[in-house]
Amino acid sequence: MSRRRVLTGSGAAALAAGTASVGPLLWVPPASAAVRPGGVHLMYGKNPKHRMAVSWSTPAGVRRPRLELGLDRTYGLTVPAESRSTKDLGTVYHHVDLRRLRPGTRYHYRLSHKGASPVTGTFRTAPKVQRPFRFAAFGDMGVNAAAAAHVALIRRMRPKFAFVVGDLCYADTSGGTGVGGPQTQDFRVWDQWLNQIQPSAGHVPWMTTVGNHEMEEGNGELGYSGYLDRFQLPGNGVKGAPVTYSFVHGNVGFIALDGNDASYEISRNLDYLGSAQDQWLRRELAEMRSDPEIDFIVVGFHNCMYCTNLVHGSDGGNRSRWEPIFDRYSVDLVVNGHNHCYERTHPLRDGAPVIEAPRGAVIDSTRGTTYLTAGGAGQAVYPTGGRPISYVSIEGGVRVPETTEWSALTNEVHSVAFLDAVPRNKRGVAKLKLTALSTDGKVIDRLTLKRRR
């Protein structure tokens, strides 16, 4: 591939888009060349075949932050970055939103600014034709030894991307409760986290959602300003809620919701979107279900709809808002975090198990929705399993006991879930295979979802 084709070939040219204005401040950088780009992380745009956002940071303002892009290390295209400063920190975050990329193509990038020694990397866009692919799913990572080990595990497992369901770094340990005041905040932790994940996130997209710990007191009305400074999100979600989005990869549709908008347990941002998020969710699901290319639908958000762990239990707010919608559109898999453990339900309809799905089961996913708690990605685990009786938080945060016959399997070790999507075979059967691994790579759960068209 010649450099000329990268720049001008049909549909091949990468163009930088003006990035959405989500609270960037006008930045006038001092001359500072000694700082090096760090915290590199990628995010797909709304169409992963053609769009990728590359984000990075420098510990201070820099002149002419830019990305060079090409099909080899001669690069060829230079794109200036949009820079955003953030609250209480000198770090500046740089973003480039690349469009019109070629599908299934490996790109080389180089990040630099005036006088800097550059940082290089590669990424691959989603393929044009359906192929088997793997993604990682988890939440509640933080900055710690287990989290670092999981970044290495994720690299070894070679997913195409990670679907990260909130509670990313814990720069605000109050977790949206407001308890403890400003001393619960240390925004330097964001940069430690972004540097920790760079070995993976600098090469494959980390598609993040917000957890309760992304609601940072004093950081914007919703507390999301710090998150929005650091991530260049796809921007195709609910109007006024850039933390929500959807995308399609191969035969799987993904929807990232804001679980805080529906949480009875931690109600700081309850109902700021309300029916607007529900209507958007219904529209997305209807569109995905009518798309002949999509077999499976995976929805991700932070709060647990079904988890027996006694620290947070299950959230009745998320249940009441979204369970009827998930049932109606036959969502295959819901990924949650929040409880720092692993748990998986049997397939459910209207809150009741419809099939037994022990470890290793192969199930017809049209029968019911499987709920996964994958909150064991690094923060201290919660060794407090609640089966056979746990509780659900109802309106007002009141915890009501309930039996938990919906729970198929719990595990209280650190873990990361991996999912392998397999396109339809000759008989029209597609598969989504779950493998949950502990930090040392041991299998703690397996499940195969099947769907026939």
Nearest-approach distance from CB 300 to Fe ion, in angstroms? 13
Rounded Cα gap, residues 235 and 250, in angstroms: 20
- CB nearer Fe ion, residue 164 or residue 333: 164
Nearest-approach distance from CB 340 to Fe ion, in angstroms? 6
Nearest-approach distance from CB 401 to Fe ion, in angstroms? 22
- CB nearer Fe ion, residue 82 or residue 140: 140
Nearest-approach distance from CB 195 to Fe ion, in angstroms? 20
Nearest-approach distance from CB 194 to Fe ion, in angstroms? 18
Residues that bind Fe ion (CB under 5 A): 140, 167, 211-212, 338
Tokens 């994940």 sit on residue: 197
Nearest-approach distance from CB 99 to Fe ion, in angstroms? 33
CA-closest candidate to residue 263, choices 204, 318, 212 = 318
Nearest-approach distance from CB 79 to Fe ion, in angstroms? 35
**Neighbour tally for 114: CB within 10 Å:** 13
- CB nearer Fe ion, residue 140 or residue 284: 140
Nearest-approach distance from CB 213 to Fe ion, in angstroms? 6
- CB nearer Fe ion, residue 105 or residue 339: 339
Nearest-approach distance from CB 25 to Fe ion, in angstroms? 28
In this structure, what token pair is assigned to residue 351?
């809150």
In the bound state, the residue with its beta carbon closest to Fe ion is 167
- CB nearer Fe ion, residue 140 or residue 445: 140
- CB nearer Fe ion, residue 212 or residue 410: 212
Nearest-approach distance from CB 302 to Fe ion, in angstroms? 6
- CB nearer Fe ion, residue 112 or residue 174: 174
- CB nearer Fe ion, residue 304 or residue 449: 304
- CB nearer Fe ion, residue 80 or residue 180: 180
Residues linked to residue 186 through DSSP beta bridges, in sequence order: none
- CB nearer Fe ion, residue 301 or residue 326: 301
DSSP collapsed to 3 states, the chain: CCHHHHHHCCCCCCEECCCCCCCCCCCCCCCCCCCCCEEEEEEECCCCCCCEEEEEEECCCCCCCEEEEECCCCCCEEEECEEEEECCEEEEEEEEEEECCCCCCEEEEEEECCCCCCEEEEEECCCCCCCCEEEEEECCCCCCHHHHHHHHHHHHHCCCEEEECCCCCCCECCCCCCCCHHHHECCHHHHHHHHHHHHHHCCCCEEECCCHHHCCCCCCCCCCHHHHHHCCCCCCCCCCCCCCEEEEECCEEEEECCHHHHCCCCCCCCCCCCHHHHHHHHHHHHHHHCCCCCCEEEEECCCCCCCCCCCCCEEHHHHHHHHHHHHHCCCCEEEECCCCCEEEECCEECCEECCCCCCCCEEECCCCEEEEEECCCCCCCCCCCCCCEEEEECHHHCEEEEECCCEEEEECCCEEEEEEEECCCCCCEEEEEEEEEECCCCEEEEEEEEEEC
CA-closest candidate to residue 308, choices 368, 373, 359 = 373
